[in-house]
Chain A
């Protein structure tokens, strides 16, 4: 990730964005003490640009733009490994889902899977379970 300078102000920590993420995910972001256990066990970590613990940290700090532009929120597959291992019982997968929602619910509806771009042959071979779950997670 490119280095970022961030001025931490109470306005950011109490921004509507942080409040919305906490509400939709049902999680208290400040409970996280950055132990890193979520990232240590994440099967998708090798494919992510920022790690799950960093996502939580950036959400705490209200780093709205960086979070909604990152790839990692789309790489997370809601496998729930982090949730079952977090010593603070934070549901990281729920936080990440709320971030995907923040992108998919805007007017642009920036889908991260475009079925029409996938080969017709490939589409027929994929089981319904793959297609439907991918669309539900990655498209508006």
Chain B
């Protein structure tokens, strides 16, 4: 009986989740979604919103949101699949979260944003053609300064360069060509598509590196190592001292 109830609950849950406010009848068309979720910041037909009440938005973006005229399907797909958009607060850095839209809605929005102008399409990377070793070199040269050499993320002036565990190959290819937030945009003259495949192969590899040496404590070097040295080794050894040094009462 209880099991039946649980089953019924489990079946009911997804429909409950998709019945979120705002994703109602109009949710079918890209235009409708855009009007509801994006228009306030990106303006009619992606013309952008420069607002006097928000003289400075994110970084160099003046106003609520930049124009989307020629960003194309590539940028739209990246910002939507990573959950960066819709942004809640234009003063905050977009973060990787679960998108409130489902696949069909994202496709509709991407198509709609792409229709604003002549932007690049969604890329199709081929990491299987890439070389992990070349990828490491390129990643160290172009990306490690922000994302850390094993792609564990790090601090850059006032922002997080996020860890890349969650990024899919397509998102990586997009990010490199878009340059979200304060990440630079890399042209094909700087990083060719073939090189990009190697970078993606490396990032995919770095999610589960061929590793040795036991429990990898974060793969970011000395900070967690220092914690282990103090909280495990030093504590254990002080414990040994206390036990061994216990007084003998004659």
A and B held together in a complex = no
